[in-house]
Structures are given as structure tokens and as C-alpha cells.
Chains A and B, each alone.
Chain A
């Protein structure tokens, strides 16, 4: 069963099989062009596959937006070391819930995407690193893998091509940090989930220090369509520098929260009003966190923009993992900021000092402020702590905590100031907890 009603404005490429009768079986998949992309890839040379992915303009859906074709091209050719395909299904960014649906409703599409990647870099094994909370999805994936193996789409001599490829699932253990690619690899190797020094990047030295293609579930899930219909067709759906469609996860104070597949470049206000049904209760929009909780908040007045990586970056935020969190006018931003930083303080892996101590300090400060214990100087101090973390942490988690904090404090300073010196929150008589 789907979690939300589809919108007529959607352009269904990756989600076209969602909700088909019969459910996510191999039979359904094959009946709807399943493995057509892979069959086409079998006719192509590895460089030609990568070329199609480059043409598609697909930029990494995990949040960083790195061009996927370029990434695949970094895998050294002719190395005598084994190469690996790894799918990042550690979907942990608050506000993001798209990979979950892609795996739940079309696991074969992900497997085909990985298979095509394997063909492109000549890999023999692939791993899907699934966040621990998605235990039931591991069962779905394992069933799909078993089906594919039984039908000859995975395993030895796939479709008589002489090509071998196996896929394995691996459960995370509940750490946000393991969504960072190098920490994911450490965890996948059975070690403590802390990031690695980079360079080298995974394409050169990834899993077991071997060349590794590591992409987000949504990125791989787009690959079958790219091969089937051609990279150009996929690219044409999006903007000139950011191709295809994206699964936007709209959460928060809208009438119809849900995951919607829309072309890259779709207008944010249209997404809120036309796709997600507008702000609930007839209230006004206050702010939007456009790409998952690590992205700097946009004020309502900044929201008339195209949802693509470059436009969001120009607006001082990020499209990230397209987790669109909508905040209405009745919400206290001091509470939002405290809740967000609390998450990052909880999830900081503890490896480097600025992130470990900075997130903890910010969390204590903003919680105190939210609960009415704010003092003059706290706001400037909080911004300075966050700025001191920016760009100086071992991995992007520090930035992910610092950037939204700075944006909340700078864009909604008056709401924070109301909390200072025993002042009254503008929205809540009794400050609610931030746990929920």
C-alpha cells in the first residue's frame, strides 16, 4: 500500500511501478520493461554505459549532488583488484523517506541499476547497506535478490552473457554517520562507523580498499530508465545541469504530506501548494527546509524558486536529499533549531573535536534557550560556535549541524530573542519538549 495519494502533476519514471497490482514481484517487473535497461547495457561497452549516465546529467541523490557518470568514470580501469558496487540505503537524513519507498515498491529496479553499474565497471559483487531501522526492507530486498537469482538475473552467467554478479544486503546498526560514504564502508567492513581520511575516494580505494562505485538508492534506481530510454531522454526531464526527476519527500505542515516524483527544477511553491495541498489549517507558510534537516532554512519569501541543486545553492541552501520540511507560521523556530541540533549532537560519531563538542554545546545552549534560560549574548555565541565548526570537521556532519543552526538564528533572530532573559516564547505558553 502506498503511503500517500499520487499527484497528477507527478512525472513517474522511478515510481512508475509503485502500487501496481501483484506487488513488487519479478513477474510484475519483467512485465513492465524490467531489465530492458540491462539488456541494452549488455550490447554496450562499459565506456558507453558510463557515457549514457554522464549524458543523463544525473547528480547524486544522496544529497551531495555529484555527477554520477563522472563518479563511475573515476574507477580505475585494468586494476587487478576486485571492484565493488555499494548502494547507500542508510537513509538517515531527517525529512527524507524516498529510498524506503523505492526499495519497498520496486526493489528489482534498484538491483537492475546496480547490475548495470557492475557491468560498467566490471564488478562481481554488490552490497546494499540498509539502515538498521529498515529491517523489513531487508526482507523485501532479499526476496527480490532470490527471485532474480532463480531467474538468472543475478548470479553466474547472467542471461547467458558470461557476466557474474551477486548482491548482498547488510544491515546498519542505527547510526546516521554511517550514511556518510566512507563511514558506511567502514561499517560494512565490520568496523566502527567513523569516516575515513579522503582522498583516496571510494572509486579508487573503497570497500576493502578496492575500487568501489557507491551511490544512493535513488541514483541506482534511475539507471535502468537511463539505459532503457537513453541518457538524453532522462536529462531532458530536468534542468540543463541537473537531469531527470527526483522524489521529493514533503513533510510537515501541509495538507498532503508524501513522496512525489517531479522533474528536477519544479517550483517549490507549486510543490507546496499544488502537489502537497497547501499549508494545513489554512495557516500561512513560515519557512521551508528544502533538502533534509541539514539544509539551511528558507523563509517563506525565499521559496519561489526552482528545485535543482544549483538554484538552491545560489539561494544559500541545498537541495540535499530533497526532504522538504514545511513549517507554518505558528511554529517556534527556537524549538525547531533545538530539535534539529539535538539530532546532530546525538548522531555525531565523536571522531573529531569540532563536531563532537560543537554539536553538544549548541544542543545544550539551544535547549536551555528554548526552555527559557536564554541570556544576552547566547545568540551571537551560538552563531560563533556554529561558524567555528563550519568547514573544519572531519566529515560533512559538522557542516550539516552548523549550517542550519546559523540559518535559523540569522533568519529568525527575533523569535530567539523573545526567549532571552526569561522572556516568553511567541508561540508556546509552556515550552514543549523537543523529543517528539
Chain B
């Protein structure tokens, strides 16, 4: 497929790899051909007929979305014949469309609206009765408005080919065709909202966003989802300091436009009425609101008292706080408080994997590798449930490239449906499952292995040894749970390893040991809930908790400090594949402070040195101090007012202004 085909589009010579569709070849040179049913990556349909173009020597107009480029082909996309066809298709499309743009959620970001403005007729001539069908509620998330639907079938395809769920189908025929859940009248699916997101019109809407606001009234803030460890970019729509929705239609993240329910709509936790907005101090039997000054003083006093008694201070970090916060916390603990007892809720043995790989390079897979590798092995995890983005990328790899997928899990998983082989094992016997696949894996040219907490400690080394014996290139992903689980390990929130997994002089207690230690003088918990299912053995220990909510752990605290969530601060987080990405502050939550700021206040109260105080400056420190996987991954392109990476090269405006680089203006 690498050979280039030469053709002409609108008089411009174009080269494209054989097999490229004309619509893509045109887009490649900046000629936009409108289309609704065409969607890159999904099966071709040729249904909407909007992308019709003139092709020399073809008797009739051709759909550019189904037509591969051919040598010497002459394509015209802007002739009167083509324009007339587009007008006609749009006029037909609008005959039964309700034209309720003024109240439609999609108004302002609607492909039908945009396309009609660009290519449609100015007037409608349809004077018959429009078809009306009442709106349907398919689930707590998804609503369907048939009259707005243009039947492009993108939703059906993304649910099938993208999500592997197949919850949607088509019922009835002709003008009465409609999209419908495949089982009864209710959706039974991931509720991921991909169907809503991919809908070019306002036919599919979400309960959370519908009739709440308009696209142009929101600020759109691209940040990293606060939920799982996959590291999806979610573009939050913020209206009056409130998050209305998340999407990523601009495909600015490593997830493309993919998001699951959590990334799309589960940012609403920031507004939960139970959200902590004031520090709390234990007074008598309960927790009472206090000022920040009182609370910080109480923390310093509690920690100093423990130090004075010579009782150990335990520190439990978070899976959600930023790299900068994690780095500062471990520094504050080890250097400031002089305690080695530092840990967090570890969800995957990243340290074990790095130890087993012993510094070899190129052995850690990125999210992109999951889409390009010819073979993938999933060990011990239900990716569709736990790592929806990784599952999505692997599924598309299978659909687009025919990747062979191997699965070793205790129970059935979605990957089974297209896996080359699926092996069921009893929990704890995952390695034996991998061994049983060695014969098949030996036939592969390359492999990405994903494993969860089922493979930990010595088992990680054994897994790596097994894969080494294949004699092919193998890359690994150690699956971890939360938005910065990986960063917590990388930054050294570990009892025996510092930042960058360097061993520390004195190993401290693990999380479990801290909870079990009867002499513990103080426990400082940052964004974690270790007491959810366990008890603290040291009854008299001073407990300070930085949290969003009054969790079980916070309820047991002497001081509770209300923290800002990931959507309310800046910094970086590291996804399960080790990719570092920046958080962008989307809103402010009055009464809360970012954990980094809280650390600074506590350090100052303790009289400790704490520099610097903004995340960007901390990152500089991390980059200097921590070698390996976390360094060097964030780098500014150095864009200025008139440069915008690749986009800038293709912007006529940026290229045309006199001030462009090398021009007059120096600012």
C-alpha cells in the first residue's frame, strides 16, 4: 500500500498512497468535501450522498467516501453540478428535519447546521406534513430524537466496531427507519456516550447536558480525566464555574475522541453537595469547621508532637494528586519530616516491572503501540471495564490492522470476541495461562503485554523472562488504576524507593504496616481512603487528611483539609503507560486549595524549607532530579504569537501576516 498514486483534484496535482479514499486525499490538500456518514476508522457506507464529486469519464457523480484514488484520476469537487447535488441532498435531508436549532443542544456545533450554511439551499420548498416521532429515553444517559436524526449510522458503527458493544441497530424501513437499542427499548451498554459524541446532529443527547447551556456559552478546557489511569484528554465545557460535560471532539489527546462515561459526564463529582469546602478540626466527639490558619496550625502541632515523642510518622499519598504534589510530598516527608514511612495504594507493580526490565530501553508500550502492534497479550484484566481506552485502541487495531489478540483472564472479557486465543485461568494462575500460549506467541513478530495486579513481585520477572524467551520485541504495560497511580510510583511515594525508583537509605513501613503499627504517632493521608475497610491500630495517632469528601478516613481524622480536585488545579499526571500529560485548571472551587498549596502551608508552619510553589517550577526540579521514564516527556514547542506547530504551516493567516517570524514585529 506504500506506492503513491498521482491524481488531480480541482486542478491540483495530488499524490496519495494507493487505497486512499478520494475524500481523504482531498482533505489532505485542504479541500474539504462535506459528508455525514463518512467517518474515518469506521466501515464505509456511501449512504448520505453528500460527498458526491465529479470524476472524469465516470457517467455519474461518485461518492468520494467510497472511491479509492486511481492513477490519472481527475476529480472535481466544486463544479456547479457538484454544488447542485449537495444543495439537493441537503434540501431532501431537511424535509423531515424539525429545524429546531434554536432549542437544540447541537446548535452551534452541528455538522448539519454547518454543512447547510456552507452548501445548502437558502430556502426549503417542502410544504407537506413532517414526520414526527416522540423523543425516546434509552437510558439514564442517552436520549434519542428521531426527527433530528439523519440516519448516518455513525452511532451504530461506533457502538459495534469501536466499542464492541453492539447495543444499537436500525429498525423499520425507508422514511420510518430509526435507530433503536438492539434489546428492547432500553440501552444495555457501557453508557460511554460515544454514540452521542459521534452524532453529527442533535439526535442523540445526554441527560446531563441536554437543554443546560449552549456550546458558545461555555469555556472549553482540555485537561486529563480525573478517573482511571488511561490518561484520556477530556475537553470540559465550563459554564459559570460549572462543568457541563466532557468531550474531546478536537482529538487533542492520546485518546482521540474516545471517552467513556467517566471522562464524559462523571466530572459532576466536583459539585457534589458533600464536597468539603472548609477545613475541619476535631472538637469533642465531632469535626467542626475551622479556618485554614487554625487547621494548618493544628497539623503542625500534631506532627511536631509526634516527632517530639519519637513516634513514627506515616504518610500515605494519593493516586490522584499530580506528579508535582507527589514529588513535593515525598520530599517533605523524607527531607523535611525525616520519616521514611511513605506509601500509597499501589494498584500495579510498576516498580517490579522496571526492576525486571533492568533499564532496557524501548520496552514500555505507549497507548499508540496498542493500535499499531501486530499482537497484544492481555493478562488478568478486563480491559473494557477497567481500561476502556486501551480496550478501544486494541479493538480498532484488530478492526483496522487485523491484530492478533491473546487473552489470559479468570473470567470472560470483551476481547474474547475477536481474540486469536482466550485462556481462562483460576485467579493466581495467570502465568500458567501465559505459558500455555507460548506456542502461539512464538509465531508473532512483536507483542505488547498488558498485565494488572495479578502479576506482581516475582511473577513480573517470570513474565518478562517468559516473553524474553520468545526472541521477539516485547513491550509492556503495567496496568494501574487511577489518574496518577503511575505518577505516585514514579515520584517515589513508596516505602523503599525514591523518585525514579532509586533506592533510599532507609526503607520505611508499607501502607499496611503503618496501619498495623501500634506506636504510630501521626498519619498524614493525602487523597486516599485507607481506612475504608481497615482500622488504624494506633488509637492515639494524630491523623490529618487532605480530601475532597468526608471519607471513612477523613471521618477518623483530627484535621481535615479540603483539597482541590484535578479539574481545579494545574500540574502533570502520568498514565498507566507512563505518558506524562498536563492538567489544565477548568474551574475554581471556593474553600479548597490544591494539595501542593496545602503542603506549602504546612511546611511553612513547620518552619521547613519549601521551594518552589508553582507546579511548573516543581516539574523543572523533577526533571533535574528524576531520570528515566518521567523525565523529558513534557517539552514546550516554543511556539510564539505567530507559530503554531504543524498547524501554523497550514494556516494562511499565520503565513500571510507581515509579523510572521522573520518579519517586522518583535513584540
Q: Within the complex, what minimum Cβ distance (angstroms) separates B127 from chain A? A: 8
Q: Within the complex, what minimum Cβ distance (angstroms) separates A194 from chain B? A: 8
B624 at the interface (CB under 8 A from A): no
Bound CA–CA A150/B176 (angstroms): 46
Bound CA–CA A354/B126 (angstroms): 14
Q: Take A197-B46, A361-B95, A392-B52 as given contacts and tell me if A346 and B174 are in contact as well, using a CB distance cutoff of 8 Å.
A: yes
A350 at the interface (CB under 8 A from B): yes
Residue of B nearest to A350 (CB): B177
Q: Within the complex, what minimum Cβ distance (angstroms) separates B100 from chain A? A: 18
Q: Within the complex, what minimum Cβ distance (angstroms) separates A420 from chain B? A: 14
**B interface residue numbers (CB < 8 A to A):** 44-50, 52, 59-61, 66, 85, 88-89, 91-93, 95-96, 125-126, 128-129, 131, 150-151, 169-170, 172-177
Please pick, from A197, A346, A368, A392, the residue contacting B66 in the complex, using a CB distance under 8 A.
Answer: A197
Q: Take A360-B95, A361-B95, A394-B46 as given contacts and tell me if A350 and B89 are in contact as well, using a CB distance cutoff of 8 Å.
A: no
Assess whether B129 is in contact with A392, with CB atoms less than 8 Å apart.
no
Assess whether A393 is in contact with B96, with CB atoms less than 8 Å apart.
no
Assess whether A358 is in contact with B92, with CB atoms less than 8 Å apart.
yes
Point out the residues of chain A lying under 8 angstroms from B50, CB to CB: 353
A151 at the interface (CB under 8 A from B): no
Point out the residues of chain B lying under 8 angstroms from A360, CB to CB: 95-96, 131, 174-175
A331 at the interface (CB under 8 A from B): no
Binary flags per residue of A342-364, CB closer than 8 Å to B gives 1, else 0: 00011111111110111111001
Please pick, from B44, B47, B52, the residue contacting A351 in the complex, using a CB distance under 8 A.
Answer: B47
A391 at the interface (CB under 8 A from B): yes
Assess whether B174 is in contact with A353, with CB atoms less than 8 Å apart.
no
Assess whether B47 is in contact with A394, with CB atoms less than 8 Å apart.
yes
A-B contact pairs, 26 of them (CB 8 A): A192-B170, A197-B46, A197-B66, A346-B174, A349-B174, A350-B151, A350-B172, A350-B176, A352-B46, A352-B48, A353-B47, A353-B92, A353-B150, A356-B151, A356-B174, A356-B177, A357-B96, A360-B96, A360-B175, A361-B126, A364-B128, A388-B85, A388-B92, A391-B60, A392-B52, A394-B49
Residue of B nearest to A352 (CB): B47
Q: Within the complex, what minimum Cβ distance (angstroms) separates B274 from chain A? A: 48
**A interface residue numbers (CB < 8 A to B):** 175, 177, 192, 197, 345-354, 356-361, 364-365, 368, 381, 385, 388, 391-394
Q: Within the complex, what minimum Cβ distance (angstroms) separates B464 from chain A? A: 41
Please pick, from A348, A353, A358, A385, the residue contacting B173 in the complex, using a CB distance under 8 A.
Answer: A348
Bound CA–CA A368/B151 (angstroms): 26
Residue of B nearest to A385 (CB): B92
Point out the residues of chain B lying under 8 angstroms from A348, CB to CB: 173-175
Counted as pairs of residues, one from A and one from B, with CB atoms less than 8 Å apart, the total is: 93
Bound CA–CA A394/B44 (angstroms): 12
Assess whether B92 is in contact with A357, with CB atoms less than 8 Å apart.
yes
Q: Within the complex, what minimum Cβ distance (angstroms) separates A94 from chain B? A: 16
Point out the residues of chain B lying under 8 angstroms from A393, CB to CB: 49
Q: Within the complex, what minimum Cβ distance (angstroms) separates A218 from chain B? A: 27
Point out the residues of chain A lying under 8 angstroms from B93, CB to CB: 353, 357
A348-B173, A354-B88, A394-B47 are known contacts; what are 9 more A-B pairs with Cβ within 8 Å? Answer: A346-B174, A351-B45, A353-B92, A356-B175, A356-B177, A360-B95, A360-B175, A361-B92, A391-B59
B interface SS class: loop
Assess whether A361 is in contact with B128, with CB atoms less than 8 Å apart.
yes
Residue of B nearest to A387 (CB): B88
Bound CA–CA A177/B174 (angstroms): 10
Bound CA–CA A353/B172 (angstroms): 15
Point out the residues of chain A lying under 8 angstroms from B150, CB to CB: 353
Point out the residues of chain B lying under 8 angstroms from A365, CB to CB: 128
Q: Within the complex, what minimum Cβ distance (angstroms) separates A276 from chain B? A: 34
Assess whether B175 is in contact with A357, with CB atoms less than 8 Å apart.
yes
Q: Within the complex, what minimum Cβ distance (angstroms) separates B70 from chain A? A: 12
Bound CA–CA A337/B85 (angstroms): 25
Q: Within the complex, what minimum Cβ distance (angstroms) separates B99 from chain A? A: 14
Leading 7 A-B pairs by shortest Cβ distance: A350-B177, A388-B88, A364-B128, A348-B174, A357-B92, A391-B60, A360-B175
A interface SS class: helix
Bound CA–CA A240/B653 (angstroms): 65
Q: Within the complex, what minimum Cβ distance (angstroms) separates A191 from chain B? A: 10
Point out the residues of chain B lying under 8 angstroms from A356, CB to CB: 151, 174-175, 177
Bound CA–CA A346/B172 (angstroms): 11
Please pick, from B61, B169, B172, B174, the residue contacting A347 in the complex, using a CB distance under 8 A.
Answer: B174
Q: Take A352-B47, A361-B128, A394-B49 as given contacts and tell me if A345 and B89 are in contact as well, using a CB distance cutoff of 8 Å.
A: no
Assess whether B85 is in contact with A197, with CB atoms less than 8 Å apart.
no
Residue of B nearest to A351 (CB): B47
Point out the residues of chain A lying under 8 angstroms from B61, CB to CB: 391-392
Assess whether B95 is in contact with A357, with CB atoms less than 8 Å apart.
yes
Assess whether B49 is in contact with A350, with CB atoms less than 8 Å apart.
no
Residue of B nearest to A393 (CB): B49
Assess whether A197 is in contact with B44, with CB atoms less than 8 Å apart.
yes
Point out the residues of chain B lying under 8 angstroms from A361, CB to CB: 92, 95, 126, 128
Q: Within the complex, what minimum Cβ distance (angstroms) separates B72 from chain A? A: 18
Residue of A nearest to B97 (CB): A357
Bound CA–CA A349/B45 (angstroms): 14
Please pick, from B125, B169, B175, B176, the residue contacting A381 in the complex, using a CB distance under 8 A.
Answer: B125
Bound CA–CA A393/B175 (angstroms): 15
Assess whether A392 is in contact with B60, with CB atoms less than 8 Å apart.
yes
Residue of B nearest to A390 (CB): B60
Point out the residues of chain A lying under 8 angstroms from B89, CB to CB: 353-354, 388, 392
Point out the residues of chain A lying under 8 angstroms from B169, CB to CB: 192
Point out the residues of chain B lying under 8 angstroms from A346, CB to CB: 174
Q: Within the complex, what minimum Cβ distance (angstroms) separates A414 from chain B? A: 23
Bound CA–CA A220/B45 (angstroms): 32
Q: Within the complex, what minimum Cβ distance (angstroms) separates B282 from chain A? A: 65
Bound CA–CA A350/B49 (angstroms): 13
Bound CA–CA A155/B91 (angstroms): 55
Please pick, from A177, A192, A345, the residue contacting B175 in the complex, using a CB distance under 8 A.
Answer: A345
Residue of A nearest to B172 (CB): A350
Bound CA–CA A361/B88 (angstroms): 13
Bound CA–CA A10/B46 (angstroms): 45
Q: Within the complex, what minimum Cβ distance (angstroms) separates A58 from chain B? A: 25
Bound CA–CA A41/B303 (angstroms): 99
Bound CA–CA A425/B128 (angstroms): 21
Point out the residues of chain A lying under 8 angstroms from B45, CB to CB: 197, 351
Bound CA–CA A197/B43 (angstroms): 11
Assess whether A175 is in contact with B88, with CB atoms less than 8 Å apart.
no
Q: Within the complex, what minimum Cβ distance (angstroms) separates A121 from chain B? A: 27
Residue of A nearest to B129 (CB): A364
Point out the residues of chain B lying under 8 angstroms from A352, CB to CB: 46-49
Point out the residues of chain B lying under 8 angstroms from A381, CB to CB: 125
Q: Take A356-B151, A357-B96 as given contacts and tell me if A349 and B173 are in contact as well, using a CB distance cutoff of 8 Å.
A: yes
Residue of B nearest to A347 (CB): B174
Point out the residues of chain B lying under 8 angstroms from A364, CB to CB: 128-129
Q: Within the complex, what minimum Cβ distance (angstroms) separates B648 from chain A? A: 37
Bound CA–CA A297/B126 (angstroms): 26
Bound CA–CA A242/B98 (angstroms): 50
Assess whether B125 is in contact with A354, with CB atoms less than 8 Å apart.
no
Assess whether B49 is in contact with A392, with CB atoms less than 8 Å apart.
yes
Please pick, from A175, A353, A385, A388, the residue contacting B48 in the complex, using a CB distance under 8 A.
Answer: A353
Assess whether B88 is in contact with A392, with CB atoms less than 8 Å apart.
yes
Q: Within the complex, what minimum Cβ distance (angstroms) separates A106 from chain B? A: 33
Q: Within the complex, what minimum Cβ distance (angstroms) separates B199 from chain A? A: 16
Residue of A nearest to B153 (CB): A351
Point out the residues of chain A lying under 8 angstroms from B48, CB to CB: 352-353
Q: Within the complex, what minimum Cβ distance (angstroms) separates B451 from chain A? A: 36
Point out the residues of chain A lying under 8 angstroms from B151, CB to CB: 350-351, 353, 356
Assess whether A350 is in contact with B92, with CB atoms less than 8 Å apart.
no
Please pick, from B85, B173, B174, the residue contacting A392 in the complex, using a CB distance under 8 A.
Answer: B85
Q: Within the complex, what minimum Cβ distance (angstroms) separates B247 from chain A? A: 26
Bound CA–CA A392/B53 (angstroms): 11
Bound CA–CA A8/B85 (angstroms): 51
Assess whether A359 is in contact with B128, with CB atoms less than 8 Å apart.
no
Q: Within the complex, what minimum Cβ distance (angstroms) separates A351 from chain B? A: 5
Residue of B nearest to A349 (CB): B173
Q: Take A352-B47, A393-B49 as given contacts and tell me if A359 and B88 are in contact as well, using a CB distance cutoff of 8 Å.
A: no
